[in-house]
Amino acid sequence: MKNNKPVLFIDSGIGGIPYCADFMKKNRQEEVCYFADRVNFPYGPRGKEEIVSILTELTERLIKKLEPKIIVLACNTATVSAISLLRERFPATPFVGTVPAVKPAAKASHNEKVGVLGTALTIKEIHNLNLISETCEIFGIAAPELVDFIEHHFEDSDENKKIEIAKKYIAPFLEAKVDTLVLGCTHFLFLLEEFRREASPHIEVFDSIAGITKRIEFLLDENGGELRSKNDGEHMPKHRLFLSGTEKPGPFWENRAKKLGFEIKIDI
């Protein structure tokens, strides 16, 4: 018996879109829902307990409404804050989290100096995630204003502005002589190519997009692929984009919805 229920991606805004797009590209038969929690954007400056409360209420509501077969927390802050408690609270639903790609960055580092660019809470929690060896030095920078830029100004910024932004954040990592850099917030992946261009050849930049897609696929393929959707030509996946609040979707959401084949829904 195949499972045609959706894979659900949750983020406070646009940050999870690169993860969602990569999964959809490689798994075209799977139905996908994306929930942007605009009402509570951004998660980064909030306390851990508040994030847990927000996501517990939200997850309960989304499970009842959408019955997702897998939930992806497409947000590093949400993952480090709440995924353990959400797994305990909703044991019947598999969760996939996005944690900073510190392990591969540390493994690839030649001088054991790893940079992490993220939200304040993610930077704070890095050392509690068991992602690195004791010999590895972490140089972390919190960039909440970069989250806001990408959420609200990325779409209407030209390439020169994007390069200028990337150069600004790469500079202190170059000064610190790190040789690997982790983009520890999903929002930052919209500037992935700009970061790589400005960091090269001194710093290798890491993200976790491919790893997250593989993890979702692993869960879908477990137990003989019982969570996989039918691939017989009869089932046509219906992709939906949910935006919390009552504000109308702006150009970014309209453009991304059209590109990814999403039907836009305001709140749920």
Find the angle CA(55)-CA(57)-CA(63) to the nearest 5 degrees.
90
Q: Would you say 194 and 162 are in contact if contact means Cβ atoms under 8 Å apart?
A: yes
Tell me the fold of 102-206.
Rossmann fold (3.40.50)
Q: Round to whole Å and give the CA distance between 74 and 33.
A: 12
List residues with catalytic annotation.
Answer: 75, 185
Per-residue pLDDT of the chain (268 residues; tens, 9 = 90+): 478 999 999 999 999 999 999 999 999 999 999 999 999 999 999 999 999 999 999 999 999 999 999 999 999 999 999 999 999 999 999 999 998 899 899 999 999 999 999 998 888 887 665 556 667 899 999 999 999 999 999 989 999 999 999 999 999 999 999 999 999 999 999 999 999 999 999 999 999 999 999 999 999 999 999 999 976 666 678 899 999 999 889 888 999 899 999 999 987 7
DSSP 249: P
CATH fold match for the domains 7-98+209-266 and 102-206: yes
Cut 0.95: pTM above it: no
Domains of the chain by residue range:
7-98+209-266, 102-206
- What's domain 7-98+209-266's architecture? 3-Layer(aba) Sandwich (3.40)
